[in-house]
Structure 1
């Protein structure tokens, strides 16, 4: 499978232990750093990786959650994996209700915690979840993140990171991405 000539599916070196579906952000493609490092970690931990590529401008007047769910459901149709893990970035975290209904493990990069629907869906999910966000992100709610952490979610909160998990300093941004990669590796090691 390809999108614009780019692959959208990767298989691990050995036997796959499940399928990880990557749902990107509105303007944050699967090839962007957080999701690409995530793809590498998922492969390293034995997951088949399937990326969604979308043009969010085609959403029109459709509400974001049903639009994302429709894409996730279509991507998973016909998949026969015993273990499904959802990885979402920003807009992709609107798949949280889908994951919660099915009890799917999830990694949420910069989840839209200021939206009650997303926060409630994360809270309702019995699956294991990792939340990654920064205090410089207007869509991250530190109090909700703490509450979700107290209720079983793994949480990485970076004080100086924005919605892209970046800062105004290139070296510090690289360090932030290293922190995120380590958190993803630790989370996947415990699944």
Structure 2
């Protein structure tokens, strides 16, 4: 179900072949949009290979049962991770992408989840059992974000005051750019702190 990037844009940026990061979109938030675009730029700055995942949601996806949505996302992400033959060590996902948090926990993959759906038990349970370095970023005005739940996972947390599900400030484009700068700076610190040992445990 993967789809190519619009306008023939590259979807892979080569760096260290043994450190691949998978950038995972949201429902309508592609890797070309600001949060994921700059996440990819930070990864490249730190020498990672960046593989963007682009997808076309199945017809009627919003009407799928939740377990079907989760299974669909997990399948897309698992296929992309498996294609890297053990070199994928980090997932960076927006919203819907965090439905793969269970896969990250199972495979001991580091992760940065942007606006994770913390109102969904599947996601919160996965985050609680994840042992690899994990960063959660959300906005206080996002109804799918819960700061208390985020803190309870024991992972790194960044909350942006008054930011919505896009991590933007409504009717405040200048403030939204400042918010984006804060997110990118935090991602830079998190990604820079990862070591070669932060990744899948050998089988």
**TM-score, normalised on structure 2?**
0.86
Is 1:92 the counterpart of 2:97? The answer is: yes
Q: Work out the CA distance in 2 between the residues paired with 1:27 and 1:82.
A: 27
Aligned to 2:72: 67
Instruction: Report how many residues are paired.
Output: 186
Is 1:188 the counterpart of 2:173? The answer is: no
User: Residues 118-154 of structure 1: CA distance to partner in whole angstroms, max 9, x if unpaired?
Assistant: 0110111111001000000010011101212xx2x11
- The answer to whether the 8 Å contact 1:16/1:46 transfers is no
- 5 Å-filtered alignment, 1:6-21, equals 6-12=9-15, 15-21=16-22
Q: Work out the CA distance in 2 between the residues paired with 1:119 and 1:38.
A: 23
Aligned to 1:165: 167
- The answer to whether the 8 Å contact 1:136/1:160 transfers is yes
CA RMSD, aligned part only? Answer: 1.6
Long gaps (5+) in structure 1: none
Long gaps (5+) in structure 2: 195-203
Structure 1 stretch 173-182 or stretch 45-54: which is displaced more?
A: 45-54
Query: What is the CA-CA distance between 1:3 and the residue it aligns to?
Result: 2.8
Aligned to 1:49: 50
Query: What is the CA-CA distance between 1:82 and the residue it aligns to?
Result: 3.9
- The answer to whether the 8 Å contact 2:140/2:161 transfers is yes
**TM-score, normalised on structure 1?**
0.91
- 5 Å-filtered alignment, 1:95-134, equals 95-134=100-139
Query: What is the CA-CA distance between 1:51 and the residue it aligns to?
Result: 0.8
Query: What is the CA-CA distance between 1:103 and the residue it aligns to?
Result: 0.9
Q: Work out the CA distance in 2 between the residues paired with 1:78 and 1:86.
A: 14
Query: What is the CA-CA distance between 1:64 and the residue it aligns to?
Result: 1.4
| CA spacing shift, 1:66–1:7, aligned 2, 3 Å | same
